[in-house]
Chains A and B, each alone.
Chain A
Amino acid sequence: MRRVLEIGAGILAAFLLLTLLVRIHPLAGEIFNPFVVAVLLIGLLRGEAAGAVAGAVAGLVADTFSLGLFGIAGIALTTTGFLAGFISRKINVLAVTRLLVFFVLLAAAELALWAGLTVLVFGRPGPWSGGLLLVQPAVNAVVAASVEKLIRKVKIRHER
């Protein structure tokens, strides 16, 4: 039950943050995607099953307010959430540099998967906003790594 609440809270926080950012500037959502950050963190901290479920929910929420088709963002985020949990169990990614590289690669894979599915379904590439989307994996990774370090710090302090 606690895990379900954590996933729900994470997705809700990402949704609220994205709504606020897009209200501030329409292109903010192209540079930074809080849904990707939430899914990466849930996958890393709670395992591949939680990551996959969080990805599916986040994708459906993201697609609800888009005129596109349901499922495209969902498939990309589900796969990313699962991989975040699965890979982090196999290799140690806790060091800062490793964590950053890990998140950059996964965020880039999510973007590539989304772009590939868009081409496959619509027969043409999605909106790239003058290449702004290419910055997104790096920004998402930096934010996700910072939040992960913050969570770990708070956890350690709490345990003491």
Chain B
Amino acid sequence: MARFLKKRQNALLLAGLLFAQLVLLSLQVPIGDAPSLFERTAFAILAPVQRAVQAVFRGLGDLWSGYVDLRHVAERNQTLQEEVYRLRQENALLREAFGRFAEREASAAFLGSLGRSFVLASVVGLDVANPYKSIVIDRGSAAGIEPNMPVLDSLGHVVGRVVPPLGRGEATVQLITDDGSAVSVLTEGSRVLGILSGDGKSGRCWMKYVAATNDAVQESEILVTSGFDKIFPPELRVGRILSVGTDTSLFKRIGVAPFFDFPELRVVAVLTGRRAGGED
């Protein structure tokens, strides 16, 4: 018997590993979205590792860009002394920077005007297997974050909502570009109601369940949250309609480009809704 086991130990190891993973898989299927204890534990262990890696890479990136910027500043100073037209160029650049600053001021005022408290968080991780499905942020239950809290970008555009697993210092955010997400939305002009869901692969979304006979929806219209889903407050900007088409089904096929910019997503605001006012 011992000899048989020794001879077949590799095959038995494979069978054991596959069996364990099948059990793990089958344990998760009936409970759907709720994370298992194992999943929560693995997330709690690995999330700080990913956070540290991101911090190192970001630090190195900042160091490098700081060095490059310093060189650019020196070069620009020299050029400014030699050529007058450089001053005009810089003037134009300053005007653009001022415009951006004003925009940020407006976004801070907008977030404050929602009448809900919010927590600012940095994006520290991405879903490496499916980039447009979820992100990990560096604030968790210790900062008062709970599942289903809405997440906005720095300009107040809807990014997604907090979902389990939730750690003390990290939280997972399901993006609106995930094919499993659903947000109740309205067209801003024609007030047509629909459900926004991501396509999960290209960063685009679909507005679903708008009747094929409804001709009120137009291209370029802006979508805002309706508030009917009891997760997102009403009138938050979500995206812009790219295309309105029909197929053989009962509903229109409406393509939507979300407003939040995935590659630029570094800081987000989580609406905690605990008290009126600004960030805690």
Closest 5 CB pairs of A and B: A26-B131, A71-B25, A127-B201, A66-B129, A71-B21
Task: Write out the residue numbers on chain A whose beta carbons fall within 8 Å of the beta carbon of B262.
Answer: 26
Contact with A along B12-28 (1 / 0, CB 8 A): 01100110111011001
Q: Is A121's beta carbon under 8 Å from chain B? A: yes
- Which residues of A line the B interface, CB within 8 A? 15-16, 18-20, 22-23, 26-27, 29, 47-49, 52-53, 55-56, 59-75, 78-79, 82, 86, 121, 127-130
Q: A23-B126, A61-B46, A71-B24 are known contacts. Are A52 and B17 too (CB-CB below 8 A)? A: yes
Cα(A50)–Cα(B132), bound, Å = 33
Task: Write out the residue numbers on chain B whose beta carbons fall within 8 Å of the beta carbon of A82.
Answer: 10, 14
Having A69-B28, A71-B21, one finds 6 other A-B pairs with CB under 8 Å, namely A19-B57, A19-B128, A61-B46, A66-B127, A74-B21, A127-B200
In the complex, are the beta carbons of B53 and A16 less than 8 A apart?
Answer: yes
Q: Is B29's beta carbon under 8 Å from chain A? A: yes
Contact of B128 among A56, A62, A75, A86 (CB under 8 A): A62
Q: Is B9's beta carbon under 8 Å from chain A? A: yes
- State the Cβ distance, B92 to closest chain A Cβ, in Å: 30
Task: Write out the residue numbers on chain A whose beta carbons fall within 8 Å of the beta carbon of B25.
Answer: 69-72, 75, 121
Provide a sorted-by-A list of 22 A–B residue pairs whose CB atoms are within 8 angstroms. Answer: A19-B50, A23-B126, A26-B263, A27-B131, A47-B10, A48-B14, A52-B13, A59-B21, A65-B46, A65-B127, A66-B130, A67-B133, A67-B174, A70-B38, A70-B42, A71-B28, A78-B21, A79-B14, A86-B10, A121-B25, A127-B130, A130-B202
Task: Write out the residue numbers on chain B whose beta carbons fall within 8 Å of the beta carbon of A23.
Answer: 54, 57, 126
**Interface-centre pick from B14, B49, B130, B203 (highest chain A CB count, 10 A):** B14
In the complex, are the beta carbons of A19 and B21 less than 8 A apart?
Answer: no
Q: Is B205's beta carbon under 8 Å from chain A? A: no
Cα(A26)–Cα(B20), bound, Å = 31
In the complex, are the beta carbons of B43 and A64 less than 8 A apart?
Answer: yes
Task: Write out the residue numbers on chain B whose beta carbons fall within 8 Å of the beta carbon of A64.
Answer: 39, 42-43, 46
- State the Cβ distance, A33 to closest chain B Cβ, in Å: 9
B201 nearest in chain A by CB position: A127
B165 nearest in chain A by CB position: A64
Task: Write out the residue numbers on chain B whose beta carbons fall within 8 Å of the beta carbon of A22.
Answer: 126, 128, 131
Contact of B53 among A19, A26, A73, A74 (CB under 8 A): A19
- State the Cβ distance, B185 to closest chain A Cβ, in Å: 21
Task: Write out the residue numbers on chain B whose beta carbons fall within 8 Å of the beta carbon of A18.
Answer: 128
Cα(A143)–Cα(B175), bound, Å = 32
Cα(A47)–Cα(B91), bound, Å = 65
In the complex, are the beta carbons of A67 and B39 less than 8 A apart?
Answer: no
Contact of A29 among B18, B21, B131 (CB under 8 A): B131
Contact with A along B242-272 (1 / 0, CB 8 A): 0000000000000000000011000000000
- State the Cβ distance, A34 to closest chain B Cβ, in Å: 10
Contact of B13 among A15, A26, A49, A74 (CB under 8 A): A49
- State the Cβ distance, A43 to closest chain B Cβ, in Å: 11
Q: Is B36's beta carbon under 8 Å from chain A? A: yes
Task: Write out the residue numbers on chain B whose beta carbons fall within 8 Å of the beta carbon of A72.
Answer: 25
Cα(A86)–Cα(B8), bound, Å = 12
Cα(A58)–Cα(B134), bound, Å = 20
B202 nearest in chain A by CB position: A130
Task: Write out the residue numbers on chain B whose beta carbons fall within 8 Å of the beta carbon of A71.
Answer: 21-22, 24-25, 28
